[in-house]
Structure 1
């Protein structure tokens, strides 16, 4: 199989691991559960749980303890997309080729679905406690998950992004937004994979550095695609950043430098990977794929 076929197969495997932890759509709160279920099942690259599992495997991890965290990180990521699409944020009506949650279920249910996924993610992660002989490592990973999601992570980055929309943004401010809004969940994914794979502290720090580079490269490529791609390929509106008057890496540095920096930063991530003792060719190919992805 070529890399794309392998990637498609792995994406499906990862989603099967994630969907086992989705709550059943039933009871008096069925509407919000339906919105949560719809948003997670809407598709996507499943990049974060995939990076988590591949990092876990890099260090020899073979158990099921990783799966609740894979599901949790995908729930958190999906919750952020639900909220990003709201009229008060990016006001987008299409996500992954489907109506966004607020369009399909209403503004109120979209807010609650995002909140519901965010809280259910921690409930899900806690299920790993019964799957391991190292509950201390699970507790550490739950702390990382909360920190990288909250005000010192994704939500902190989203806050700065919203407040600076339509205003002049410096490179320092943009780096802060990208490091937290996008990079934090990638860091959480890979660091949790390393910890549960029993990596040592030096290796964990190197994994976090690698993940930070991957997150930055991924976001810059997103900025590029927002200008160069089309709605049919992306499955969401293009020129969304321009519509919302947002400064991006492309508007700040120019298209040519943005493309060069994606490649350079991705190579930095691969260099970190090569410094680690384990070997995972699929993980290396996955990192390189981020440079050339079209959606």
Structure 2
């Protein structure tokens, strides 16, 4: 019998392949109904920022939370996952800009503004943000209109001023004044956690699950979102650029506060174990169906890149 950890790795890889293929198709040179043209250089920059590997963890979470409710939700969950990945990639393209985090390397290759130019990188991010909502609303996403509306609203709230974009604003402000522990938690819940939370709740929306199931998966997403950022802060402290595929040690260099900096590595490792336990408890009502998502929580907490 295949172990849960081995099955998780298989599913993570197979889902990543499916997401990559979906994104490549969505980012083809073919114009869609209502479009006039897709400028070649802009499209090339977008593909550079999106089709560059990566674990595709957020789409994986959409697909696996939807799978809790049966096998009939794979196709719409894949498209919603691809939409979410467009939002995630847009945020990376913009975060890497000189006016933001000023990074030259992403996933082991030059960032979009380095490979192209700043203006093209800005437009690439704008295009990806817009495309995400296009994908959800499109007729090819076979969901009832009320579910599409729920997804659009939830994604907008997770990505916007009260979510990821607002979190980036707080992150920039943290370079001038280091936040306290509560401020760090808020910043991280917005900048990183909001899209992970959405990914988990989105699977329940796609499956038209009841309010209780949707709430459980939302809380699971919040929990592993905390674990993801805490693990990321540990890696920023302990890993190197070759392993991570991006610059490390930048938070300390910029004076940004992290929970790891406040409480230390031992505390962080203990807290990660607590978060994995909390995630597992939230999944208990799903029984064996939740095994892959339990392994996902462990993976998030123990990742090395």
Which range, TM-score by smaller chain?
over 0.9
What displacement does 1:138 show? 1.4
| 1:223-267 CA-partner distances (Å, limit 9, x unpaired) | 000111111111111102123221112112211111111121122
Residue in structure 2 matching 1:168, options 173, 178, 183 = 178
2:20 maps to 1:15: yes
Aligned residues: 294
Asked if structure 2 preserves the Cα contact closer than 8 Å seen for 1:89 and 1:162, the reply is: yes
1:107 to 1:34, Cα distance in 2 relative to 1, 3 A: same
2:59 maps to 1:36: no
- The aligned counterpart of 2:260 is 250
TM-score normalised by length of structure 1 = 0.94
| 1:150-189 CA-partner distances (Å, limit 9, x unpaired) | 1111111111111121422111111111111111101111
Asked if structure 2 preserves the Cα contact closer than 8 Å seen for 1:48 and 1:74, the reply is: yes
Distance 1:145 1:278 in 2: 29
* Unmatched tracts of structure 2, length 5 or more: 32-36
Distance 2:98 2:51 in 1: 22
| Structural mapping, 1:120-139, within 5 Å | 120-127=131-138, 131-132=142-143, 134-139=144-149
Distance 1:6 1:205 in 2: 24
- The aligned counterpart of 2:151 is 141
SS at match of 1:20: helix
TM-score normalised by length of structure 2 = 0.91
Asked if structure 1 preserves the Cα contact closer than 8 Å seen for 2:90 and 2:128, the reply is: yes
SS at match of 2:55: coil
| Structural mapping, 1:98-109, within 5 Å | 98-109=109-120
| Structural mapping, 1:203-282, within 5 Å | 203-276=213-286, 279-282=289-292
Distance 2:24 2:225 in 1: 24
RMSD of aligned alpha carbons: 1.9
* Unmatched tracts of structure 1, length 5 or more: none
- The aligned counterpart of 2:160 is 150
Distance 1:70 1:22 in 2: 15
2:91 maps to 1:54: no
1:281 to 1:130, Cα distance in 2 relative to 1, 3 A: closer
